[in-house]
Amino acid sequence: MSKERIVAVVNPKASNGAGGKRWPKLEKALREHWPELEVRMTERQGHASTLTAEALERGADMVIAVGGDGTTNEVLGGFLDAEGRNRFPDACLGVVANGTGGDFQRMFGALAPLAQVQRLAAANIRTVDYGLVRFVDHEGEARTRAFVNMVSVGISGLVDAIVNDSGRPLGSTAAYVGASLEAISKWRNQPVTLRYDDGDAQELDLTLLCLGNGQYFGAGMHACPNAEVDSGQLEAVLLDGFRRRHIVGALGRCFKGKHIGYRGIESKTVSKVQIDPREGAEVLIDLDGEQPGKAPLSVEVVHAGLRLRIA
């Protein structure tokens, strides 16, 4: 039996509460590997970061995020200081995807939550990158947040806002597809200035820019099919000036990762990105499925900054 100090941070509300209902079985399976497992249940948004920081300060070797991508994102936040540096580089973030989308886990091979637990103890720890995004929150304050999966801007932020307002009654890919169709009907392209790395600024009519450390978002859309979590770079996938019917065309292709090249959709590898709205544009952010604020934003990669255990 392992002597590692393991803490599970569990979001009982993930997947509209279905995550909480599955938890007793997952806990039993986790305890077969880690009998001394400590469990902390989240009570509100943002709580997973606080619980993680407390666990790591007390010497946890691994904090397992049990929830959706939002919970994994918040657990990652608990590792970091206010500037986004990892305060606990020797500790490890574990993931049991038990939420609605489970998008980060998909690139490692989609598994049911119980199967993930059964494979987690044997999974290798890998050193991966994470991203930092600086943006403006809804109160107008400058914020820095981290992501291990994906940040995107444009129509995806509107999709999140619609999913969040709806209370996610379908709790699945169907909820995202429905919200995506509603967002497409409301969407207007937004004028922005975009700069990759230290290249020239480009003015464009933004439909969507995905920046992937992981590959999937929106409950199964394979938006960044070439992204690798340890490459030191993000995959940038850009839709510029798309009309509604072409957004629908891209969406359909995106589930199979066949959208690159469709109507000029570009894919690049980048390590820094800056987006500034022009002419009063409102450019909403999607951060691992949450909608925390808007552009102007800058994004950068922290290479090999995190130890990760995922089945």
Ligand X SMILES: Nc1ncnc2c1ncn2[C@@H]1O[C@H](COP(=O)(O)OP(=O)(O)OP(=O)(O)O)[C@@H](O)[C@H]1O
Between 43 and 137, CB nearer to ligand X: 43
What does 21-83 look like in DSSP terms, one character per residue?
A: HHHHHHHHHHHHH-TT-EEEE--STTHHHHHHHHHHHTT-SEEEEEESHHHHHHHHHHHB-TT
CB of 126 to ligand X, least distance (A): 21
CB of 281 to ligand X, least distance (A): 26
Residue 195 CB contacts under 8 Å (≥ 6 apart), including other chains:
201, 202, 273, 274, 275
CB of 220 to ligand X, least distance (A): 10
Between 159 and 273, CB nearer to ligand X: 159
CB of 138 to ligand X, least distance (A): 14
Residue located via tokens 């509300």: 13
For residue 36, count other CB atoms closer than 10 A to its CB. Answer: 11
CB of 145 to ligand X, least distance (A): 12
Between 67 and 225, CB nearer to ligand X: 67
Angle of helix 69-79 relative to helix 47-57, nearest 10 degrees?
Answer: 40
Between 265 and 311, CB nearer to ligand X: 311
Between 228 and 290, CB nearer to ligand X: 290
Buried b (16+ CB within 10 A) or exposed e, 209-239: bbbbbbbbbbbbbbbbbebbbebebbbbbbb
SS3 at position 4: coil
Between 69 and 235, CB nearer to ligand X: 69
CB of 185 to ligand X, least distance (A): 22
Between 99 and 277, CB nearer to ligand X: 99
CA torsion angle 172 178 137 299 (round to 10): 80
CB of 272 to ligand X, least distance (A): 26
DSSP H stretches of helix in 192-290? 244-254
Please choose, from the candidates 220, 198, 224, 222, the residue with its C-alpha nearest in 3D space to the C-alpha of residue 211. 224
In the complex, which residue's CB is closest to ligand X? 68
CB of 13 to ligand X, least distance (A): 4
Between 7 and 206, CB nearer to ligand X: 7
Please choose, from the candidates 91, 92, 119, the residue with its C-alpha nearest in 3D space to the C-alpha of residue 26. 119
- Residue 106 CA, chain-centre distance (Å), reads 12
What whole-number distance in Å separates Cα of residue 204 and Cα of residue 181? Answer: 23
290 neighbors 70 (Cβ within 8 angstroms)? yes
CB of 174 to ligand X, least distance (A): 12
Residues making contact with ligand X (CB under 6 A): 11-15, 42-47, 67-71, 74, 99-102, 289-290
Between 214 and 289, CB nearer to ligand X: 289
Tokens coding 142: 């400058």
